[in-house]
Amino acid sequence: EAGVVQSPRYKIIEKKQPVAFWCNPISGHNTLYWYLQNLGQGPELLIRYENEEAVDDSQLPKDRFSAERLKGVDSTLKIQPAELGDSAVYLCASSFGLGTGETDTQYFGPGTRLTVL
């Protein structure tokens, strides 16, 4: 079974440029998450989707960050314009979703390492 797929794996851009990350979750997983991981820190949730609906985007800096999951499968996270402080790893995760009768275990992709110069 394929895991969570993310691309690109690495991205280097200059500040003020736009950037986009793509994620394809595990087949059958209804819930998709985007996390931010700063160096030396644990992941922090940016946004969570249930199918195509963003049900928690409270931690997403909406002035420059946006996300979409149009068909309830893959998702794109965008930053425009990027700032120096956005340099981090952006992780995507997926899970079956609540209501499965068990713990909703999250499975993570390899991440996109963003460097803003």
Q: Beta partners for 105?
A: none
The beta strands (E) that lie in 17-106 are given as 19-24, 31-37, 44-50, 53-56, 65-68, 75-79, 88-95
Report if residue 100 touches other proteins, rule: CB under 8 A.
Answer: no
Residue 25 as a binder of other proteins (CB under 8 A): the answer is no
**List 74, 76, 113, 115, residue binding other proteins (CB under 8 A):** 113
Rg (CA), the chain: 14
Binding flag, residue 48, other proteins (CB under 8 A) = yes
Q: Does 69 bind other proteins (CB under 8 A)?
A: no
Residues 6+ apart with CB under 8 A from 102: none
Q: Which listed residue (46, 69, 109, 116) binds other proteins by CB under 8 A? A: 109
Binding site for other proteins (CB under 8 A): 4, 6, 9, 31, 33, 40-45, 48, 56, 91, 93, 95, 98, 102-111, 113
